[in-house]
Chains A and B, each alone.
Chain A
């Protein structure tokens, strides 16, 4: 209105963009920087294993088996060798790619399935909600290992050709089929909560279609609780994959993954070879920490509701 004095916009106080703000907030947090370094390290190992080791993980010499790591991580085998005489550093480095590919594939697929089903169930309700919710109950009730054994019978005996997709496919499918329920529940609950909020009703008043309401107004809100569980779920996927490795439907040999190393390592951890178990576990813990810290910080920085 005219009686309001218009403040002169100051040129230097130009409105920073959302991403710029987010970057500034995150740059000031040391934990975020540590997390970023760890993530970069892990992704670099997955992308360029040759940068970190010049040995082949498949070149194993029996008489060099179970050499403990050198005190100062020097020499022929800086991280020692495993039960079959393979260089352990090379094994870990080359196991990173299948691990990361598996974890990211499963998380993306599971979140997608959970989002779509959860949003449909929450938004439309009625019989669609009933069908999806009961299906969800069924999948929660079937134990993962039982379901995995059923799937195992489909894939058993198929060796891998070294292609990373083929290597992780059986484990990825099994973990996705039994991994979407948690996301679906969160999204369904958030959708039901959001769909009656004033701004969703307002959007409908302004002639928005169902699909637009779902994607523009409900999805960005429903995804917030999901982002909180994603990092820990990534850790859980890697650990669960080690259980599948015991059954033989984990990552297919000759390729390895951290999960396979964890499951192999447990056999030797008690016998004085704790590094075979401890090193993959340490990497796993660090990676999960990094994902969790980074995800948390990103959400804090980007969500205008928390400002």
Chain B
């Protein structure tokens, strides 16, 4: 599937196929609220390689959704402004492109799956029409062929009886089926990067697993890069390859999924993992992280996590901003005591 012949005009001018699929480098996003600049994303950097899945995990307000909006170029502006950094797709900085190029990049190269498929599908058009429209508009496909393509896609995402479901409206589908339709739409133009912003939050637990498995399957079949944005570490455990944990607009820990679960190197990640209900902790009170995420308008001095940290060294943590440093190969953490936390000495 990855070797599909691309239609002329579909390739990104200046793209270097040897460069990483998607590199986000020092991305900064500010929101202007009542003439005050409030940082939402403070220098996020990560790399997504072809055929891998990156999970961006964080609490509400940690900047994970804003990051994805900035990559897609759909940030509400005003109030949002990208004030720095680069988003490179195959080496091309998307932030420097004109509006027309950005428009073709969306859908053709980067597509997005939204949280709530009911509101992300237009209630007034049948799903077949909405999927087919993408082919008609971007590829100039005829109505009949577009319909055929839509049926194939619905089939691919596991909608039974796709041929007859094509004329149905979004309200006639169940939540899980709707999310499948949404995924089908995002896949229509064969993008290289798929961003799924909390794709399973609105669904039942059993359906969550199905959708996650579907995303994983499609990602592998098409050799895409997949970014999963979620607040639920449990959901990503068996689909993601790498995890980036965000806190207060920064990535505080980045590692492979295995390392993150086995040997977290940041007190925040460790606390998050402890807060997941597990079979062997049944009957005991669930651990929680004290306090609330910081207000981005007035971040704590030093390490932004120090007021909630269980491993805090008051003097150092409240005055010095910790560096983002490696604790092992491909494992970085933004903590003064990363090594100690990593070795489980703290």
Binding site for B on A (CB under 8 A): 1-2, 4-7, 9, 14-15, 17, 197-199, 201-209, 212, 216-217, 220-221, 303-305, 307
Contact = CB atoms under 8 A, between A and B. Distances in A.
B123 A305 contact: yes
B132 to A, nearest CB: 12
B6 interface: no
Interface string B155-196: 000101101100111010000000000100110110000000
A4 B160 contact: yes
Contacts of A2: 158
B213 A205 contact: no
B104 A207 contact: yes
A307 B126 CA distance: 14
A211 to B, nearest CB: 11
Q: Rank and list the top 9 A-B pairs by shortest CB-CB distance, nearest first.
A: A207-B107, A198-B119, A198-B120, A1-B158, A6-B160, A206-B107, A202-B120, A304-B169, A207-B106
Contacts of A205: 72, 74, 106-107, 111-112
A193 to B, nearest CB: 13
Given A1-B213, A202-B182, 18 more contacts: A1-B158, A5-B160, A9-B164, A14-B164, A15-B168, A198-B119, A198-B120, A199-B119, A203-B122, A205-B74, A205-B106, A206-B188, A207-B103, A207-B104, A207-B138, A217-B122, A221-B124, A305-B123
A180 B93 CA distance: 46
Contacts of A201: 74, 114, 120
Interface of B: 72, 74, 103-108, 111-112, 114, 116, 119-125, 133-134, 137-138, 158, 160-161, 163-164, 167-169, 171, 182, 185-186, 188-189, 210, 213-214
A204 B105 CA distance: 11
Contacts of B160: 4-7
Nearest to B109: A207
Contacts of A4: 158, 160
Given A199-B121, A202-B112, A7 B107 contact: no
Contacts of A208: 137
Contacts of B214: 1
B137 A212 contact: yes
A6 B106 contact: no
Nearest to A10: B164
A198 B116 contact: yes
Given A4-B158, A201-B74, A208-B137, A304 B116 contact: no
Nearest to A203: B122
Given A15-B164, A207-B108, A198 B124 contact: no
A75 B106 CA distance: 75
A204 B171 contact: no
Contact of B210 (A1, A7, A217): A1
A4 B107 CA distance: 29
Contacts of A14: 164
8 contacts: A1-B210, A197-B119, A198-B116, A202-B114, A202-B185, A212-B137, A220-B124, A307-B171
A14 B214 CA distance: 29
Contacts of A9: 161, 163-164
B162 to A, nearest CB: 10
A220 B133 CA distance: 16
A272 to B, nearest CB: 55
Nearest to B133: A216
Contacts of A221: 124
A208 B213 CA distance: 29
Contacts of B114: 198, 201-202
Nearest to B116: A198
B7 to A, nearest CB: 14
B117 to A, nearest CB: 9
Contacts of B138: 207
A9 B189 CA distance: 29
A251 B133 CA distance: 46
Of the listed residues B74, B104, B112, B124, the one surrounded by the most CB atoms of chain A closer than 10 A to its CB is B124
B101 to A, nearest CB: 11
Contacts of A197: 119
Contact of A15 (B120, B123, B167): B167
Nearest to B170: A304
Of the listed residues A2, A14, A307, the one surrounded by the most CB atoms of chain B closer than 10 A to its CB is A307
Nearest to A17: B167
B195 to A, nearest CB: 9
A275 to B, nearest CB: 47
A202 B121 CA distance: 8
A265 B161 CA distance: 64
Contacts of B111: 205-206
A9 B182 CA distance: 23
Contacts of B169: 304, 307
Contacts of B74: 201, 204-205
Contacts of A220: 122, 124-125
Contacts of A15: 164, 167-168
Contacts of A217: 122
A246 to B, nearest CB: 44
B179 to A, nearest CB: 13
Contacts of A203: 122
A202 B111 CA distance: 9
B215 to A, nearest CB: 12
Nearest to B102: A207
A305 B124 contact: yes
A209 B103 contact: yes
A66 to B, nearest CB: 55
A252 B133 CA distance: 49
A7 B161 CA distance: 7
